[in-house]
Homo-oligomer: A and B are copies of this chain.
Amino acid sequence: MPEKYVYLFSEGESNMKELLGGKGANLAEMTRIGLKIPPGFTITTKACNLYRENKGKFPEGLWEEVKKNINLLEEQTGKGFGNPEKPLLVSVRSGAAHSMPGMMDTILNLGLNKDTLDGLATSTGNRRFALDCFRRLIQMFSDVVLNIELELFENQLKAIKKKREIELDVELDESALEELVETYLNIVEEHTGEPFPSEPDGQLEMAMKAVFDSWDNPRAKTYRELNDIAEELGTAVNVQAMVFGNTGSNSSTGVAFTRNPGSGTKEYYGEYLTNAQGEDVVAGIRTPKPVIEMESEMPKQFEELKKVYDTLETHYKDMQDFEFTIEEGNLYILQTRAGKRTAQAAIKIAVDMVDERLIDKKEAILMIDPHQIARLLHRRLDPTESVRPFGSGLPASPGAAVGKAVFYADDAVKWNDRGEDVILVREETRPDDIHGFFASQGILTARGGKTSHAAVVARGMGKPCVSGCEDLVIDTNARSFKIGEVEICEGDCITIDGTEGTVMEGEIATIAPELSAEAERVLKWADEIRTLGVWANASTPEGAKQARKFGAEGIGLCRTERMFNAPDRLPIVLDMILSDTEEDRKNALDRLMPFQREDFIEIFNIMGELPVVIRLLDIPLHEFLPSIEELNMDVQNLTRFVDWLKSMKVLSGAVNMVGLPDETQSVIHRLSKETEMLHEQDIAQKVLERKLTMLSKVRKMVEVNPMLGHRGVRLGITYPEIYRMQVRALYEAAATFIKEGKNIEPQIMIPQVCTTDELKWIYEQILEEKAMVETSQDIEIPIIFGTMIEVVRSCMRAGRIAEQVDFFSFGTNDLTQAVFSFSREDAENTFLPLYNERMILKHNPFEILDHKGVGRLMAITVRWGRKVKPELKIGICGEHGGEPSSIGFVHTIGIDYVSCSPYRVPVARFAAAQAALKKPEELSLIWGTY
C-alpha cells in the first residue's frame, strides 16, 4: 500500500502531532470533537522529509493525493478550485510539531487569479473585497514564495495612497485597487521574468514547496539548535478553505480566551469586530468589542460560541486562546492553543480546574511554569512603616530593596562578597556593570527609562530597580550622592522601592511577598509529589525566617563570612587579619567568638530541629580589607591632612580644612564618619598608621587570581585558629539547645576541598574543639561533617572523599567557573554575552546549569561517591539550586536536596515536583558515548 501523505482534518487527531504538525493535529482534533472548522487537509511531515531528501522533488504520488483532496474540498464546499464562477479559495500554512519562528507562516486567498477574481466579486457582490483579497495574495505570495522584496509592494501602496490623498488602506476604493493589482502584477513580472502564476494548481504547488523549503532556512535551523529540536522532524502543510468575516454586518472575526488571562477568573473573555478580518483586529483600526456584547448583537452566534468555550476547555483541560470567524452568520473556529496568562492567573486556573474536577493535582502542577512562581515573590515595603521618600524615579523593576550605597559595580561585588547588602547607585548602567547587578540588592540610576539597560537587566534578574531618578547627583570623588539636600555617602544605608519608584534614607523594613491561598495550595501539592528536598541558603536570622516561611526544610548553606561583616565585628576581623603573631590573631578571634555564637543561637532558635549546614570561612582574608587603590588614596590624603594639621599647629578642635584640596576634604569627611575626633593630630596620625599597615598587608595578600587563591579550607589549614573559633562558637551554641533536650545536629561544611587529607586534618581539629566543649558543658554533641564539592579534583576523588564525610554539597557556582575556566565576573563583562549571542554557548552557565559539562561531572561524582558510601547525602547549594531546569537535572542524577535563596524556595519546591512528574532525562545521555 502506498504511503499516505495527506490527511483530511476529519482523518487526524491531536496525538498525531509528529506527522501532522501542531496546527494540523489541532485542526483535526477540533474537527473530530465536532467543532465547525472550515474544511481542509494536512500534508504530512513525512512528505516534507522525502521532499528534502529528494532535493526538492515531491515524493511519488503526493501531488495526485493533494489533487484528490482538493476535489474532496470542492465537494464539501460546493465551490471549485479555479472555478471562475464559484471559486474555492484556500489558505496554506506551515505547521511543525513545535511552533518555530523563521518558518514560512501563511498565504491566504490561494486560488485567485483574474478569472476567479470576477467569480468571487460576483458571488459575494463585493468587487472591492475581491480585489483586496487578490492584492493581498499577490503581496504574500511574492514575499514568501517568489522572494521579491516586500518593500517594492509597500512603496506602490504608499504611492497610490499619496496620489489619491488618502491615509488608510481601507479607504482605497475599487478603482484604486484595480490599479494597484495591475501594478503588483507588473512588479512580479519584472522581477521573475514571468507573469504571476495564474493557475491555482501552480500556486498551490509553489506554496507547498516554499513551506517545505522554509524548514531549512537559517533562522529556523538556529532556533532548532537552540531548543534541541531534531532536524529530522520536518514540517507539515495545512491547506484549508477560506472563510471571511468581512462580507457584511452578519460577519465578524474575533479572539477569545476561555478564562480571563489576567486574573484567571472563569468568564467569557475575548474581543471581536463586526464585518472585519483578523488582520483588521491586529491593525487596530477599529476598537474591538468585548465578546460578551455579542449576547445582544448576535445572540444565536453567542450561544454557539459559549458552547465552543466549554467544549474546548473540557476537551483540552487547559485555558484556550482561540480564533473564530463568523461568515454570514456561520461560526467557524480557525485555531486554538493553550492561552498565555499571568502568574496569578496561571495559579488560579490550575487550582480552579482541580476544584472543578477538570484536572488532577499532578496535571495542575504541570500546567504552571515554575518561572511564574518566581514572579510572585518580590519583597515589598512593610506597610506598617511610615515611608518618607526623598527621591523618586521610574518604577523600573518591582520589589523593595535595602542596602548600603556603592557607586561602582566592582565595589558592589567586593562588598557583597564580604556579606554586605548593597544598592548600586549609578548615573546610568552599562553592560560592564553586570557583575554589580548580581552583587546588589537593587539598582538606582539617575538616567534611563523603563527600557534602559538598568531596568531591563534588573527585571531579568528580578532585582528591584528605580531608574531615571533625575534629581540624583553623584560625586564620585567624594563617593557620595545628593538628592536635594540629602547627602548619602558610600556605605550609608538606603531603601528603594522599584514598585513605586521611590528612594528612602536608611533601612526600611521590608516584608516578604505573601503567597496567595491558591499558591499555597499548589505548593502543598508540589510538596506531596516531589522527592527532592528543598533547603535554603541563609546566613542571617532574617534569612532563616524567610526560609522557613517559604517552606525550606533546612539551611543548606549558612555562609559564616557574612557574620564577620556586621559593623560591630569588622574592626575585630581587621585586628585579626592585621595580626603579626598567632597569639594576636587568637586574641582577636576570641573577641569574635561570642558574636558568632550568638548568630548560631539565633539561627537555631528559628530553625528548630531542622538541619543547618554551617560552612566555615570561605573567602580570602584580603577581601575584608579595602582595595589597594582606596587605601592609597586614603594614605595620600591622610598624610596631607596630618601635615596640614602639623603646619597649622592644630592639636585639637574643629577645623575647616581651608587650603586643602577637595579630594582631601572628601576623604577626611568620609573617614570622620568612621573615626571620631579625626581632627586631633595624634588620632589622625594613628589612623594614618593603621591605614599604612593595612596597605602593606593588602599588598602582601593581593592575589593574581583570587578565585583560585588562598581561601576556603586552605585558610583553615594555614590559620587553623580561625576554623577552630568557628567550630567552638557553633558547638557552644548547639550545647545550649542540647542541654534543653533538643535534637539538634549542627552540620559542618568545609569549602574548596581538593583532597581527603584536607578533610582529615580539619576533622581532627574539629574533634578537639568538640571534646573541649563536651567536657566543659558535660554533654555529648553529635557531629555531622561534610564538604563542598566545588573543586574539580574533589569530583575526581569522590570515592575517597566520601569515606571522610557524611554529605557532599555541590557548589555549582565555583564548580562552573572551574569546569569552564571562566571567571564569572570577567566572562560576563567580556566574551560571554557574545558567546550567548552567537550560540556558541546556549545559556549563561552561571544561570542555567550546564548539563553536558558541569552536569556530567556531577553525575560522575554522585556515582563514585555513592559507590563507596551508598548512604551519602548529596545536595547542591549554588545559585542553580533555585533554577527550574537545573533542578530537573539534579533530580535526574539522584541528588537528595537543593538549597537556594529563600525567595527561590517556592520555585524550587514547585520545580522539584515537576521534575518528579516528568519523564526523567535519559541517563544514557550522560553515560552514553560521549
Residue with the greatest number of chain B CB neighbours at <10 A, chosen from A714, A757, A852: A714
The docked-state distance in angstroms from the alpha carbon of A823 to that of B703 is 9
Tell which of B718, B757, B830 touches A830, judged by Cβ atoms closer than 8 Å.
Answer: B718
| B-contact 0/1 string along A766-806, CB 8 Å cutoff | 00000000000000000000000011110011111000000
A63 within 8 A of B: no
Which of A101-109, A286-294, A834-842 is the interface stretch?
A834-842
In angstroms, how far is the closest chain B Cβ from the Cβ of A417? 11
Whether the Cβ atoms of A853 and B797 lie closer than 8 Å is: yes
The docked-state distance in angstroms from the alpha carbon of A823 to that of B714 is 12
Tell which of B705, B710, B852, B853 touches A706, judged by Cβ atoms closer than 8 Å.
Answer: B705
In angstroms, how far is the closest chain B Cβ from the Cβ of A743? 34
Q: Which chain B residues border A840 with CB–CB below 8 Å?
A: 717, 755, 757-758, 761
The docked-state distance in angstroms from the alpha carbon of A692 to that of B321 is 60
Whether the Cβ atoms of A798 and B930 lie closer than 8 Å is: yes
Chain A's interface size range is: 35 or more
Whether the Cβ atoms of A819 and B793 lie closer than 8 Å is: yes
Tell which of B790, B796, B817, B930 touches A868, judged by Cβ atoms closer than 8 Å.
Answer: B930
A1 within 8 A of B: no
Q: Which chain B residues border A798 with CB–CB below 8 Å?
A: 930
Q: Which chain B residues border A705 with CB–CB below 8 Å?
A: 705-708, 823, 825-826
The docked-state distance in angstroms from the alpha carbon of A219 to that of B710 is 29
A512 within 8 A of B: no
Within 8 A of B (CB), among A168-202: none
Residue with the greatest number of chain B CB neighbours at <10 A, chosen from A708, A717, A754: A708
Tell which of B761, B796, B799, B839 touches A853, judged by Cβ atoms closer than 8 Å.
Answer: B796
Q: Which chain B residues border A864 with CB–CB below 8 Å?
A: 930
A814 within 8 A of B: yes
In angstroms, how far is the closest chain B Cβ from the Cβ of A316? 38
A821 within 8 A of B: yes
The docked-state distance in angstroms from the alpha carbon of A815 to that of B783 is 35
Q: A797-B852, A853-B797 in contact; A867/B929 too (CB < 8 A)?
A: yes
Within 8 A of B (CB), among A14-57: none
A752 within 8 A of B: yes
A223 within 8 A of B: no
Whether the Cβ atoms of A755 and B841 lie closer than 8 Å is: yes
A230 within 8 A of B: no
A822 within 8 A of B: yes
B-binding residues in A (CB < 8 A): 703-710, 714, 717-718, 752, 754-755, 757-758, 761, 790-793, 796-800, 814, 817-823, 825-827, 830-831, 834-835, 838-841, 850, 852-854, 856-857, 864, 867-868, 929-930
Other contacts beyond A707-B821, A754-B820, A796-B854: 15, CB < 8 A: A704-B706, A705-B823, A706-B826, A708-B708, A708-B817, A710-B827, A717-B834, A717-B838, A718-B834, A754-B821, A790-B821, A792-B820, A793-B820, A797-B852, A799-B930
| 7 nearest CB pairs, A to B | A799-B930, A705-B823, A708-B823, A793-B853, A710-B830, A757-B840, A705-B705
- The 24 listed contacts between A and B (C-beta, < 8 Å) are A703-B830, A705-B706, A705-B707, A705-B708, A708-B817, A709-B826, A710-B831, A714-B831, A717-B831, A718-B831, A755-B853, A758-B840, A792-B792, A792-B818, A792-B821, A792-B857, A793-B821, A796-B853, A796-B854, A796-B856, A799-B930, A800-B930, A814-B821, A864-B930
